[in-house]
Amino acid sequence: MATGDVKLLGAGASPYVNRVQIALNIKSENYEFLEEKLGSKSELLLKSNPIHKKIPVLIHDDKPICESLVIVQYIDDVWTSGPSILPSDPYDRAIARFWAAYVDDKWFPLMKELRMAEGEEAKAAAIEKIVEVLVVLEEAFVKCSKGKAFFGGDSIGFLDIAFGSFLGWLKVTEKMGEMRLLSEAKTPNLVEWAERFCCDDAVKDVLPKTEKLIEIFKIMQARAKAPPSN
Amino acid sequence: MAANDVKLLGAWPSPFVMRVRMALKIKAVDYEFLEEKMGSNNDILHKSELLLKSNPVYKKIPVLIHGDKPICESLVIVQYIDEVWTSGSSILPSDPFDRAIARFWAAYIEDKWVPSLRSIGMAESEEAKKAAMEQVEEGLGLLEDAFVKCSKGKNFFSGDQVGYLDITLGCYLGWLKVTEKMNNVKLLDGAKTPGLDKWAERFCSDVAVKDVMPETEKLIEFAKVLFAKLRAASPN
């Protein structure tokens, strides 16, 4: 398949954008990264994703594709000569899709809850729920990996990308809250997986460093607290 | 494939279950339909041992059990069916960009449109109900545009035959009619969304759909029982 013209509208700090970057790296696909500025939406973004007005948007030969996991599957469907992102067996694909949806529908909202939690009690309650969910994902990892390094087996795949893209922000939450969400005690396999994932060639230049994300977090917090301006 | 190799845990009123049944019909796959029973007292569903064992994460229907392996989440199941039974007609488009568009709109329907439809029934004030109805209509406006683009002049979102996006949205047509009847309002309006209006009629009469979509009257009866249980469950 001809590579054609590939652009990615996004921001380096967004885990959803990181998913797409990792997928493109797996396929060794070159692309032009058009970085959206924090706090504003470009004309191109509004035109390419009029429904949600959100990043990431992949623009392939002038055709926009939106929604991170839809984009990742598109990349897998188009660039067939590179390593596969989704498993080849239909049942394993179903399991990968199931858990990817779980990450977005169950895990991520809890992280949001923790960020918004006010007071020690609310925070502790949110942390407990997050750890419970991580224990479920630990079990999923054991089943999916079948003793290998990643959810996807020997190399990173769909579920690794879906969940691993959040590791940068997970570390920020741990550092700023001075606690561990992933721990050797409760989620030993995930702890090791996380390290392997972050060092993977397709990932290491994509996930921003914790310090950088903390800076961005502080900027976002300040903006949220500042009086609204037109 | 032997019929007893494929089981579906579900319930006839559930749109999510309907999606799976339509997909199985398209592929002409025989299956055993194991119906979960309505719960006693205030439980909506009495959840069977098999359901709790097969879907421990969500404890929800539908669950497809193929040769003892459970698959959960309706759209995951539909894609699984499409990938396993390759001799029947395709459910997802073959072109990667068309697939991405179908998946995008399916996600929109799940994440935005269905919640707005559901919130009509849950609305606690006339104002809230009106706002929810407006959202549903707005969504249908967007889906009308999507229909025109995706169908490219043909009968269904997928083209000549019922496919992924048709199933994802179409399974809600019964409940949409129930909502319209019970609130004496028109949400799917031929004047505002002519493409969708005609599509809805074609969809409901399609061979993959007509034996799976319950009659509106039957759904209304069920809705009354369901809402009574939901009201009894909340202390207000």
Tens-digit pLDDT profile for residues B33-48: 999 987 766 667 788 9
Q: Do B104 and A63 touch (CB under 8 A)?
A: no
- Of B72, B84, B99, nearest to A90 by CB-CB distance is B84
Question: Of B32, B54, B84, at which residue does a domain stop?
Answer: B84
Cβ distance of B100 and A65 shorter than 8 Å? yes
Average pLDDT of the segment spanning A92-105: 97
Residue of chain A minimizing CA distance to B68: A91
Domain that holds residue B221: 96-233
- pLDDT confidence bin for B1, thresholds 50/70/90: very low
Q: Which residue of A has its CA nearest to B79?
A: A94
Asked whether residue A113 falls in the same domain as residue A194, the answer is yes
User: What does the alpha-carbon distance between residue A31 and residue B97 come to, in Å, rounded to a whole number?
Assistant: 18
Percentage above 70 pLDDT, chain B? 95
Among A35, A50, A78, the domain-final residue is A78
Two tokens at A164?
A: 């691993």
Count of alpha carbons within 13 angstroms of residue B70, beta-carbon side? 19
Interchain contact, A77 vs B104, CB within 8 Å: no
Domain containing residue A162: 90-215
Q: Is the pLDDT assigned to residue A25 strictly greater than 80?
A: yes
Identify whether residues A129 and A184 lie together within a single domain. Answer: yes
Chain B residue at shortest CA distance from A1: B96
Cβ pair B71:A77 closer than 8 A = no
Query: Is a pLDDT exceeding 80 seen at residue A60?
Result: yes
Are B16 and B61 spatial neighbours (Cβ–Cβ below 8 Å)? Answer: yes
**Distance in Å, alpha carbon of B103 to nearest chain A alpha carbon:** 6
Residues A116 and A24 in one domain: no
> Does some domain include residue A1?
no
CB-based contact A74 B97, cutoff 8 Å: yes
Burial, B127: exposed, middle or buried (Cβ in 10 Å; 0-12, 13-18, 19+)?
A: exposed
- Dump pLDDT digits (tens) for B116-152: 999 998 888 999 999 999 999 999 999 999 999 999 9
Measured in angstroms, the CA of A78 and the nearest CA of chain B are apart by 6
Using one digit for the tens of pLDDT, what is the confidence trace for B48-104?
999 999 999 999 999 999 999 999 999 999 999 999 999 889 999 999 999 999 999
Residue after which a domain boundary falls, among A48, A78, A108: A78
Mean pLDDT score of chain A: 94
In a mutational test of the A interface, the residue from B57, B72, B82, B105 whose CB has the highest number of chain A CBs within 10 Å is B57
Does the residue A188 lie in any domain? yes
Domain-embedded: residue B64: yes
- Residues of chain A positioned with their CB less than 8 A from the CB of B72: 98
Residue A122 pLDDT > 90: yes
Q: Is the pLDDT of residue A32 over 80?
A: yes
Mean pLDDT score, A105-122: 93
User: Residue A224's pLDDT is what?
Assistant: 76
| Cβ-nearest to A97 among B66, B76, B84 | B76
- What is the model's pLDDT at position A219? 87
**Is A78 an 8 Å CB contact of chain B?**
yes
Contacts by A35-44, CB closer than 8 A, 24 or more apart: A35/A10, A35/A11, A36/A9, A36/A10, A36/A11, A38/A11, A38/A216, A38/A219, A38/A220, A39/A223, A42/A9, A44/A9
Name the domain boundary from A78, A103, A138.
Answer: A78
B76 and A51 within 8 Å at the Cβ level: the answer is: no
Q: Which candidate from B83, B96, B104 shows the least CB-CB separation from A90?
A: B83
Contact A191/B at CB under 8 A:
no
Residue B174 maps to a domain: yes
Counted domains in chain B:
2
- In this structure, is residue A226 part of a structural domain? no
Specify whether A68 is located in the same domain as A161: no
The pLDDT score that the predictor gives to residue B234 is 66
Distance CA B227, CA B186 (A): 21
Q: In this structure, are A153 and A66 located in the same domain?
A: no
* Mean pLDDT along residues A62-86: 97
Determine the longest span between alpha carbons in chain A, in angstroms.
Answer: 55
Query: CB–CB of A93 and B108 under 8 A?
Result: no
- Contacts with B231 (C-beta within 8 Å, 6 or more apart), sequence order: none
Q: How many domains, chain A?
A: 2
- Tell me the mean pLDDT in the region B178-202: 96
Q: Is residue A221 part of a domain?
A: no
Same domain flag for A97 and A71: no
The answer for A 105-134 residues in CB contact with B (under 8 A) is none
Interval A33-49: pLDDT, tens? 999 988 889 999 999 99
Q: Is residue A54 part of a domain?
A: yes
Which among B57, B99, B100 is the nearest to A102, CB-wise? B57
Collect all residues of chain B within an 8 Å Cβ-Cβ radius of residue A90.
80, 83-84
B109 and B209 in a single domain? The answer is yes
Q: Which residues of A fall within a CB distance of 8 Å from B73?
A: 97-98, 101
Q: Can you give the CATH number for the domain in which A94 is found?
A: 1.20.1050.10
Mean pLDDT of A61-65: 97
How sure is the predictor about B207, in pLDDT bands with cuts at 50, 70 and 90? very high
Q: Which residues touch B133 (CB under 8 Å, ≥6 apart)?
A: B120, B183, B185, B187
Q: Are residues A51 and A159 in the same domain?
A: no
Q: Closest CB to A91: pick one of B69, B96, B104.
A: B69
